[in-house]
Amino acid sequence: MATLLSDTRSAIFPRLQMIHGWLVDGLMGATAERARPICGAEQPSVPHPAMHRRMNIVTNRNSNFGQARSTTARQLGVAGLLAGLVSLSAGCWSANDRAVVVYAALDREFSEPILDDFEAAEKIQVRAKYDIESTKTVQLVAAIMGEQSRPRCDLFWNNEILHTLRLQREGLLEAYASPSAANFPAAYRDAGGHWCGLAARARVLLVNTEIVADADLPSSVLDLVDPRWKGQVGIAKPRFGTTATHAAVLFARWGDEEATDFFRKIHDQAQVMSGNKQVAAAVGRGQLAFGLTDTDDAIIEIDQGRPVRIIFPDQGPDEMGALFIPNTLCLMKGSPHPENARRLLDYLLSPDVEVRLARGRSAQFPVNPAVAESSRALPGEEVRWMDVDFEAAADQWEAAQAVLTEIFARS
């Protein structure tokens, strides 16, 4: 099972690091930075009681020997002990370590079964860290940026694309020309091999058909700011996840003034919820007449028999079309298990994975043209997709977030 539990070596290594720190601080009088161990799961901030005993033994020995030996001799002794610690802990850094650390922004219920199957097939332990609905993607990206001097994450499975582009611009991604990516469209993979998109979702309106009559069905995201629906429509916080991606795309497409006006009206008109899943569920319960969400959350309400309908917005000839957002996969530069990460990336880009995600509860849209399977979330008619410049949207990220933070600070 994909897990963050450490194996024996990764349980020992952090404690060896603590001994290292105590020895350096206590015997050499230096201030040593003890970085967060990257091998295995999070370690407790308080040392194990046994480590207190070990520390006391080391301290007492230092006191006894200190009267008879010189500082130089003590330092040589420390150097020898540290060399031993490095030797003991070398396995944690070995290329043969059968583990890979994954940060996954795709919902755990969809990503974990696939990671479990990779683990079983390849006999490589998957140590997965998942996000939470209310801070989609953002907390994982913040962790990756915060750990860049000593990366913990090997592979980032992002549920959108803009944060992947931001990580690339920070120089944190490792290039890898995966053979599994060869057939993917150029629009959904980086020419330099830093990332590849797969298994997309669409941004859609989910409508409660018991509340909204056929004659009144919304057809555009602009219907979210129609005064007649005030208080009856919903949107996830546009500072996180695919809603934040959608917002940045609109800022890039419309410009700051028009996009800012739109989101101010959204704030005044809509119920702002913690995530897309919550918006879809509220529509299904009849709490909302309709809301903006993702197809994977919308299809769950349909599968549960709720009185709802998916509408792909802005399908008119002069309208912008529905937004199509792929998942993205990327490898971290300087990660602890690079070879295992490459094997996992190859696996995740295989046609079988996109088939599973299309057939599964999330009904995602395959990106690889070699995959014949289609998502059951697609309507019978052809969908008009938005022509998106994701690089331009990434350029707008900081400015858009500053505006959205100010508008939705109390939401």
Instruction: Kindly write down the DSSP assignment for every residue of 269-320, as one continuous string.
Output: HSEEES-HHHHHHHHHHTS-SEEEEEHHHHHHHHHTT-SEEEE----STTS-
pLDDT tens series, the chain, 411 aa: 554 433 434 444 444 444 334 333 333 333 232 233 333 333 333 333 333 322 332 333 343 333 433 433 343 343 344 334 333 333 343 444 899 999 999 999 999 999 999 999 999 999 999 987 656 688 899 999 999 999 999 999 999 999 999 999 999 999 999 999 999 999 999 999 999 999 999 999 999 999 999 999 999 999 999 999 999 999 999 998 899 999 999 999 999 999 999 999 999 999 999 999 999 999 999 999 999 999 999 999 999 999 999 999 999 999 999 999 999 999 999 999 999 999 999 999 999 999 999 999 999 999 999 999 999 999 989 999 999 999 999 999 999 999 999 999 866
Tokens of 97: 């370590």
Give yes or no for a contact between 53 and 42, defined as CB atoms under 8 angstroms apart.
no
Phi-psi region of 137 (alpha: psi -120 to 50; beta: other; left: phi over 0): left
Domain boundaries, the chain: 8-93, 99-200+326-380, 201-323+403-407
Distance CA 314, CA 98 (A): 48
Q: Which of these, 187, 3, 16, lies nearest to 92 by C-alpha position?
A: 16
Q: Per the confidence metrics, is the pTM higher than 0.85?
A: no
Tokens of 227: 């005064």
H-run or E-run covering 73:
helix 71-93
Instruction: Kindly write down the DSSP assignment for every residue of 308-370, as one continuous string.
Output: EEEE----STTS--B-EEEEEEEEETT-S-HHHHHHHHHHHTSHHHHHHHHHSTT--B--STT
Same fold, 99-200+326-380 and 201-323+403-407: yes
Distance CA 35, CA 21 (A): 10
Say which CATH topology domain 201-323+403-407 has: D-Maltodextrin-Binding Protein; domain 2 (3.40.190)
Q: Which CATH number fits domain 99-200+326-380: 3.40.50.2000, 3.30.465.10, 3.40.190.10, 3.40.50.10810?
A: 3.40.190.10
